Amino acid sequence: MTAAVQATPTDGIRLRRIKRFARNPIGMAAAAVLLSILVLAVFARQLAPYDPNLIQLSETLLPPSGAHLLGTDASGRDVLSRLLWGAQVSLQAGAIMIGTAILCGVPTGLIAGYSSRWFDGVANWCANLLMSLPEILVIIVVITSLGSGLTPTMVTLGVLASPDLFRLTRSVVVNVRDELYIDAARVSGLGSTRIIFRHILSVVLGPLLVRASFVFGLAIIVQSGLEFLGFGDPSRPSWGGMLSEAFQTIYRAPELVIAPGAAIGLTVMALVVFGAAMADALGADRGDGTGKAKQRRASAAGLAEPSLDVSTIEGAVVPAEDALLQIANLRVTYPGDGDTEKPVVRGISLHVDRGEVLGLVGESGSGKSQTSFGILGLLPPEARVSAARMTLGDATLIGASEQQLQALRGTRMAYVPQEPMSNLDPSFTIGTQLTKPMRHKLGIGKAEATQRARELLDRVGIPDPVRTMAAYPHQLSGGMAQRVLIAGAVSCDPELLIADEPTTALDVTVQADVLNLLRDLQRERNMAMILVTHNLGVVADICDRVAVMQDGVIVEQRGVRELFAAPQHPYTRMLLDATLEDARPRSQRPTGNGAL
Ligand SMILES: Nc1ncnc2c1ncn2[C@@H]1O[C@H](COP(=O)(O)OP(=O)(O)OP(=O)(O)O)[C@@H](O)[C@H]1O
């Protein structure tokens, strides 16, 4: 290993967020203001010197004095007492509205963004409908039919505000759902609900906090506005009501507008500033990795037509009957322009025996990852997948339900990705990310999972497993992160491991170590392995057989020795020439362990 854990494990993300927030003086001031208002509102009964509705006609419009710190209004009521009770009403109104908006908007946004199926369509339609309703008219109808109680009014406003949170949540989820660590969580066999609540909700939290604090402020303004317009309950002391009454005596006592006006302004301002400061503190943890998987797929576009009919190539078609993984005529297509289809995997057939390593090679965009994700059942919903056969032992993969595939992923087939850092969730410790899937998949307790995780980390060459378990991904080097992912992939003893260019993103000095580790683990556990790679040198070192892909087709498939000794297909020859330009062919070198 080239690097060690770089910071103390206790210096976790939560602590860093708190510290970052604490370093923002404006955010801290806003938090202090909000906290003070909350305390005043909660203890209004104890703090208010008078009953807020106590009318004393002998004491109307008194200026501030020792008896009445903020004076009295036109009915002789104590302004300070009404202000304190009004804070309670305003905060209650905001809480009801934001609570309703979050309840209606966030879960629906999470599901719509993550599943992107019929639910997305229905939820969007409902959001559009709600947004098109004239809010004031709806509120007037609600108040006239249900009365001026705080709850029905604010619940209605919350429902009307929920499309805003729905759209925000949905768009964040759509951006993050193709992140590699979400794929990794899927591969480890976690269900959608767990992925949403564990990995996606934490990303939504930052933008949601900003918007929620804004909606909270809006709730206070709208509720005060309704009271101001006379839609409130006159027996309920409120800032809006106070403002309305102050306007009636504006010429005699203009100072009466100051207290409620300042209270509304200060609270709303503090909410907005607090939300923005929180977002800053939360947001800086997330890199700009959003959509990396998408970028990776998009960059692979635009390839030449293959020049040879696949059926003529030896070993390309017929899968062995006793093979662990058997694929016949796998096709993956995507909707193209208009009614056209864009085929990206075009009827490939391959097999992998137990304990065998198959190298899947080909240039960028040839369909290697699409084939891998097709096997794992992780292609995007718009992909159309078909095959005459796709089985893993006794399990049929093609046409299997998401639930069946989920049961296989992590336990019988596992995945090691290309970019280790993006495949680890930055919000959780390595220990949590290793033990949770094990507990879920193997049904073991926390202590056993922790022990297993430590042993696995030790096995994959992590020098201090206990310390690494407590570390967050950003505290690891790329090589260590990849070892952690390898440990996670083999943690439930899979029969098939798919390693998708597992060393491409790593420093050259650790590439060989990681490949050796994969090969050792594969041998120890007699796992079948598909190694996706561009690199024929890696194929020569590790693989037993190799399938060469070009533009969605396997153009040549045979034993590594034979392929290197006598490549049949011009594309294979070209790949070999490119790889071995400056090197003596491996097929002509003396073999070490029998691989070549
Ligand atoms: N969601 C998608 N919609 C349409 N086309 C896609 C989608 N995802 C991938 N493709 C296309 O599928 C083809 C094969 O992509 P794939 O990622 O399997 O290539 P690859 O051989 O793994 O390349 P690389 O080595 O760069 O990862 C590419 O042309 C790519 O543009």
In this structure, the residue with its CA closest to atom 18 of ligand 1 is: 367
Give the per-residue pLDDT at 322: 63
Residue by residue, DSSP assigns 511-523 as HHHHHHHHHHHHH
Cα 27 from Cα 274, distance rounded (Å): 5
- Coil, strand or helix at 570: helix
Highest mean pLDDT among 275-284, 301-310, 441-450: 441-450
Give the per-residue pLDDT at 291: 39
Considering only residues 177 and 248, tell me which one the structure prediction assigns the higher pLDDT: 248
Give the per-residue pLDDT at 116: 60
In angstroms, what is the span from residue 180 Cα to ligand 1's centroid? 15
In this structure, the residue with its CA closest to atom 9 of ligand 1 is: 297
Q: Do residues 5 and 476 touch, judged by C-beta distance below 8 A?
A: yes
User: What long-range pairs does 47-50 form, CB within 8 A, spacing at least 24?
Assistant: 47/84, 48/78, 48/80, 48/81, 48/84, 48/85, 49/78, 49/80, 49/81, 50/77, 50/78, 50/81
Please state which of the ranges 69-83, 218-232, 499-513 shows the lowest mean pLDDT: 499-513
In this structure, the residue with its CA closest to atom 26 of ligand 1 is: 364
Cα 594 from Cα 596, distance rounded (Å): 5
Give the per-residue pLDDT at 454: 93
Cα 192 from Cα 182, distance rounded (Å): 10
Cα–Cα separations (whole angstroms), residue 256 to 162, 224, 544: 35, 15, 86
**pLDDT tens digits, one per residue of 83-138:** 999 999 989 999 999 999 999 999 999 888 887 678 888 888 999 888 888 887 88
**pLDDT tens digits, one per residue of 151-164:** 898 999 999 999 99
Looking at the chain, how many residues does it have?
Answer: 596
Which residue from 344, 348, 535 has its CB within 8 A of the most atoms of ligand 1, so it is best to mutate? 344
Token pair belonging to 105:
């908007």
Cα angle value 245/248/254 (rounded, 5°): 90
Considering only residues 118 and 221, tell me which one the structure prediction assigns the higher pLDDT: 221
- Determine the residue type at 339: D
Highest mean pLDDT among 73-82, 132-141, 562-571: 73-82
In angstroms, what is the span from residue 191 Cα to ligand 1's centroid? 25
Considering only residues 34 and 287, tell me which one the structure prediction assigns the higher pLDDT: 34
In angstroms, what is the span from residue 368 Cα to ligand 1's centroid? 8
> If you average pLDDT over residues 510-536, what whole number do you get?
88
CA 180 and chain centroid, separation: 9
Q: Provide the ipTM.
A: 0.96
Which residue from 370, 501, 549 has its CB within 8 A of the most atoms of ligand 1, so it is best to mutate? 370
In this structure, the residue with its CA closest to atom 10 of ligand 1 is: 297
Give the per-residue pLDDT at 339: 78
Write the secondary structure of 396-408 as one string of H (helix), E (strand) and C (coil): ECCCCCHHHHHHH
Residue by residue, DSSP assigns 365-432 as TSSHHHHHHHHHT-S-TT-EEE-SEEEETTEE-TT--HHHHHHHBTTTEEEE-S-TGGGS-TTS-HHH
In angstroms, what is the span from residue 238 Cα to ligand 1's centroid? 60
In angstroms, what is the span from residue 349 Cα to ligand 1's centroid? 18
Give the per-residue pLDDT at 484: 92
Which residue from 369, 533, 550 has its CB within 8 A of the most atoms of ligand 1, so it is best to mutate? 369
Region of residue 291 (left: phi > 0; alpha: psi -120 to 50; beta: else): left
The DSSP output letter for 232 is S
In angstroms, what is the span from residue 302 Cα to ligand 1's centroid? 9
Q: Sorting pLDDT into bands at 50, 70 and 90, what band is 174?
A: confident
Cα 320 from Cα 326, distance rounded (Å): 8
Is it the case that residue 315 has pLDDT exceeding 50? no
**pLDDT tens digits, one per residue of 50-76:** 999 888 888 888 889 988 999 999 889
- Coil, strand or helix at 233: coil
Is it the case that residue 302 has pLDDT exceeding 60? no
Question: Does any ligand 1 atom lie closer than 6 A to the CB of residue 294?
Answer: no
Q: Do residues 24 and 34 touch, judged by C-beta distance below 8 A?
A: no
Question: Does any ligand 1 atom lie closer than 6 A to the CB of residue 141?
Answer: no
> If you average pLDDT over residues 256-278, what whole number do you get?
91
Give domain limits for the chain.
Answer: 26-42+76-285, 301-412+494-588
* Mean pLDDT rounded to a whole number for the chain: 82
In angstroms, what is the span from residue 360 Cα to ligand 1's centroid? 14
> If you average pLDDT over residues 555-578, what whole number do you get?
87
In this structure, the residue with its CA closest to atom 4 of ligand 1 is: 334
Is it the case that residue 300 has pLDDT exceeding 90? no
Cα 505 from Cα 448, distance rounded (Å): 32
Which of 105, 93, 212, 103 shows the shortest CA–CA distance to 162?
A: 105
Q: Sorting pLDDT into bands at 50, 70 and 90, what band is 3?
A: very low
> If you average pLDDT over residues 361-380, what whole number do you get?
91
Is it the case that residue 423 has pLDDT exceeding 90? no
- Determine the residue type at 224: S
Torsions phi, psi for 343 (to 5 deg): -80, 130
Which of 432, 440, 416 shows the shortest CA–CA distance to 494?
A: 416
| Residue 399, burial from CB neighbour count under 10 angstroms (0-12, 13-18, 19+) | exposed
Please state which of the ranges 92-106, 242-256, 343-357 shows the lowest mean pLDDT: 242-256
> If you average pLDDT over residues 384-411, what whole number do you get?
89
Question: Does any ligand 1 atom lie closer than 6 A to the CB of residue 236?
Answer: no
Which single residue is written with the structure tokens 């005060």? 224
Q: Sorting pLDDT into bands at 50, 70 and 90, what band is 9?
A: very low
> If you average pLDDT over residues 197-220, what whole number do you get?
83
Task: Please provide the CATH number assigned to the domain covering 26-42+76-285.
Answer: 1.10.3720.10
Q: Sorting pLDDT into bands at 50, 70 and 90, what band is 581?
A: low
Question: Does any ligand 1 atom lie closer than 6 A to the CB of residue 380?
Answer: yes
Question: Does any ligand 1 atom lie closer than 6 A to the CB of residue 369?
Answer: yes
Question: Does any ligand 1 atom lie closer than 6 A to the CB of residue 372?
Answer: no
Is it the case that residue 294 has pLDDT exceeding 60? no
**pLDDT tens digits, one per residue of 366-375:** 999 999 999 9
Residues in a beta bridge with 384: 333
Is it the case that residue 295 has pLDDT exceeding 90? no
Cα 492 from Cα 518, distance rounded (Å): 15
Token pair belonging to 249:
């005596």
Report, at the CATH architecture level, how domain 301-412+494-588 is classified.
3-Layer(aba) Sandwich (3.40)
